[in-house]
């Protein structure tokens, strides 16, 4: 049997972002091992047929001793188990799992899904992270990038080998799960921001825009936040802050859900004023697949989801004024034009972000590694028999 390991900093991430990749691998009768910290989604992965190996990862921390322990933990796992290929997701896994796999000569496929502030500040932690990317990613057999800018940056800095990179359109979207759905025409225009509750996702700008627009338009518009409070992230928005926003009356906080499509279908427009260095935001391509116009920032990753004036609008990063201007366009737009814009979103996601394209690229890379391994084994056996019979 072929053993494939999938690693990330949470089981939540693997289940919510990679479950269809896992199902495709299981259909090939591969053994799938999940390597991540245990959380409430671990049991869901086990029910799918995956085996689970726990590991401790300090997701938001910068303590070198904890990160070294993570590296040693990966080494122990790869020493005690036999894997034909490892798929790494999320930053620390891309780094420490790759370095550990290198020790045991295991092929790795990494996914760079966004760089955050890694290349936009000069903090010691960012400098260390860049150094670790440089010494680790050259050892990855394949590195998937979710946008061209990140790929060119890594190639230019010598962090990756040009022949080992593949450009993909984000994580892709399940077009059978996220289907086209028009919102209810009841006279209320509903906006949704779906993301982790981080300041860099532009959440505060969304709230500020809501405060001002509610004063102008009253109950004819509605603003909703959806996403978990990432307490381990240093830029997390506190629960107390969100509660205060809700008390002010401009924002609804919807918490978290495993059925985000049930929320998206009821809104008219999805907004993400992120100034975080995104890969390609999955929340936007899911919303687009359901036929929702998109408002997001003219920044790396985000802009990939919008054809301006066709399926949405781009605003300036960190600008509440610019965001308000774009939201006003949606508010004032006749419903038939709003529906047409949503249909353009659906068409864009079908043409550019179908998840099956990304899954097939993973399968293609894995099959290539397996063929190479079989060829290597054949040559080894051939020369062994030749030596036995002195051919």
* pLDDT tens column, 338-366: 999 999 999 999 999 999 999 999 999 99
Q: Can you tell me the distance from the alpha carbon of 33 to that of 29, in angstroms, rounded to the nearest whole number?
A: 13
Q: Is residue 92 part of a domain?
A: yes
Q: Kindly state whether residues 278 and 163 are assigned to the same domain.
A: no
Q: Which of 53-57, 168-172, 239-243 is the least confident region? A: 168-172
Domain count, the chain: 2
Q: What is the pLDDT of residue 118?
A: 57
Q: Kindly state whether residues 348 and 366 are assigned to the same domain.
A: no
Q: Is residue 183 part of a domain?
A: no
Q: Kindly state whether residues 328 and 194 are assigned to the same domain.
A: yes
Instruction: Report how far Cα 253 is from the mean position of its chain's Cα atoms.
Output: 22
How does pLDDT run across 32-51, given as a tens digit for each residue?
A: 999 999 999 999 999 999 99
Q: Kindly state whether residues 21 and 163 are assigned to the same domain.
A: yes
How does pLDDT run across 315-344, given as a tens digit for each residue?
A: 999 999 999 999 999 999 999 999 999 999
How does pLDDT run across 368-383, given as a tens digit for each residue?
A: 999 887 765 544 444 4
Q: Is 60 helix (H, G, I), strand (E, B) or coil?
A: coil
Q: Which of 60-69, 145-154, 207-216 is the least confident region? A: 60-69
Q: Kindly state whether residues 264 and 374 are assigned to the same domain.
A: no
Strands, E, within the chain: which ranges? 3-7, 31-36, 51-54, 85-89, 108-112, 142-145, 165-167, 189-194, 221-226, 252-253, 269-272, 294-297, 312-315
Q: Can you tell me the distance from the alpha carbon of 181 to that of 167, in angstroms, rounded to the nearest whole number?
A: 30
Q: What is the pLDDT of residue 70?
A: 96
Q: Is residue 182 part of a domain?
A: no
Q: Is residue 177 part of a domain?
A: no
Q: What is the pLDDT of residue 122?
A: 67
Overall average pLDDT of the 66-73 stretch = 95
Provide, rounded to the nearest whole percent, the portion of the chain with pLDDT above 90: 82
The mean pLDDT of the chain is: 92
Q: Kindly state whether residues 57 and 75 are assigned to the same domain.
A: yes
Q: If pLDDT is split at 50, 70 and 90, which confidence band does 116 have? A: low
How does pLDDT run across 124-172, given as a tens digit for each residue?
A: 777 888 899 999 999 999 999 998 989 999 999 999 999 999 999 888 9
Strands, E, within 84-138: which ranges? 85-89, 108-112
Q: Is residue 121 part of a domain?
A: yes
How does pLDDT run across 264-285, given as a tens digit for each residue?
A: 999 999 999 999 888 899 999 9
Has residue 61 got a pLDDT over 80? Answer: no
Please check whether residue 190 is in contact with residue 331, taking contact to mean a CB–CB distance below 8 angstroms: no
Please check whether residue 317 is in contact with residue 332, taking contact to mean a CB–CB distance below 8 angstroms: no
Indicate which CATH number applies to the domain containing 159. Answer: 3.40.50.2000
Q: What is the pLDDT of residue 235?
A: 83
Using a cut of 0.85, tell me whether the model's pTM lies above it: yes
Q: Which residues contact 324 (CB under 8 A, 6 or more apart)?
A: 209, 212, 213
The owner of tokens 């790396």 is: 300
Q: What is the pLDDT of residue 120?
A: 57
Q: Is residue 61 part of a domain?
A: yes
Q: What is the pLDDT of residue 276?
A: 85
Has residue 230 got a pLDDT over 70? Answer: yes
Q: Read out DSSP for 309-365?
A: TTTEEEE-TT-HHHHHHHHHHHHHS-HHHHHHHHHHHHHHHHHH-BHHHHHHHHHHH
For residue 104, the enclosing domain spans 3-172+354-385
Q: Kindly state whether residues 151 and 218 are assigned to the same domain.
A: no
Q: Is residue 69 part of a domain?
A: yes
Has residue 72 got a pLDDT over 60? Answer: yes
The tokens for 205 are 């700008």
Has residue 23 got a pLDDT over 70? Answer: yes
Q: What is the pLDDT of residue 192?
A: 98
Closest Cα partner for 8 from 90, 99, 102, 98?
90
Q: Is 227 helix (H, G, I), strand (E, B) or coil?
A: coil
The owner of tokens 């690229």 is: 361
Cα dist. 120→116, 165, 201 in Å? Answer: 8, 23, 15
Q: What is the pLDDT of residue 385?
A: 44
Provide, rounded to the nearest whole percent, the portion of the chain with pLDDT above 70: 93
> Between these two residues, 389 and 81, which has the higher pLDDT value?
81
Q: Kindly state whether residues 44 and 97 are assigned to the same domain.
A: yes
Q: Is residue 178 part of a domain?
A: no
């Amino acid at each position: 049997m072929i053993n494939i390991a999938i690693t990330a900093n949470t089981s939540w991430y693997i289940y919510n972002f990679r479950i269809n990749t896992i199902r495709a691998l299981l259909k090939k009768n591969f053994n799938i091992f999940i390597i991540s910290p245990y959380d409430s989604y671990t049991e869901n992965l086990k029910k799918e047929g995956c085996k689970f190996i726990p590991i401790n990862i300090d997701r938001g921390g910068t303590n070198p001793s904890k990160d070294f322990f993570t590296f040693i933990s990966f080494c122990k796992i790869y020493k005690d188990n036999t894997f034909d290929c490892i798929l790494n997701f999320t930053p620390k896994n891309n780094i420490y799992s790759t370095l550990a796999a290198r020790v045991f000569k295991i092929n790795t496929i990494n996914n760079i899904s966004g760089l955050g502030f890694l290349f936009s500040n000069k903090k010691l932690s960012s400098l260390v992270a860049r150094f670790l990317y440089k010494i680790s990613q050259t050892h990855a057999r394949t590195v998937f990038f979710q946008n061209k800018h990140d790929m060119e940056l890594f190639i230019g800095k010598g962090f990756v080998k040009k022949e080992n990179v593949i450009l993909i359109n984000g994580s892709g979207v399940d077009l059978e799960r996220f289907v086209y759905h028009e919102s209810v025409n009841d006279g209320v225009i509903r906006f949704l921001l779906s993301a982790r509750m981080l300041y860099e996702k532009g959440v505060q700008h969304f709230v500020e825009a809501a405060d001002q627009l509610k004063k102008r338009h009253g109950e004819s518009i509605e603003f909703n936040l959806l996403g978990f409070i990432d307490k381990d992230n240093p830029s997390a928005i506190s629960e107390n802050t969100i509660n205060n926003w809700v008390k002010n009356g401009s924002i609804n906080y919807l918490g978290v859900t495993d059925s985000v499509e049930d929320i998206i279908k009821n809104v008219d427009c999805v907004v993400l004023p992120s100034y975080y260095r995104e890969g390609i935001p999955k929340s936007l391509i899911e919303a687009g697949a359901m036929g929702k116009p998109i408002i997001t920032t003219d920044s790396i990753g985000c802009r990939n989801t919008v054809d301006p004036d066709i399926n949405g609008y781009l605003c300036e990063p960190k600008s509440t004024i610019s965001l308000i201007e774009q939201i006003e366009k949606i508010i004032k737009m006749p419903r038939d034009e709003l529906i047409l814009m949503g249909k353009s979103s659906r068409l864009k996601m079908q043409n550019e972000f179908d998840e099956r394209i990304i899954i097939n690229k993973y399968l293609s890379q894995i099959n290539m590694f397996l063929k190479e391994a079989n060829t290597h084994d054949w040559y080894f056996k051939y020369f062994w028999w030749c030596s036995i019979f002195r051919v």
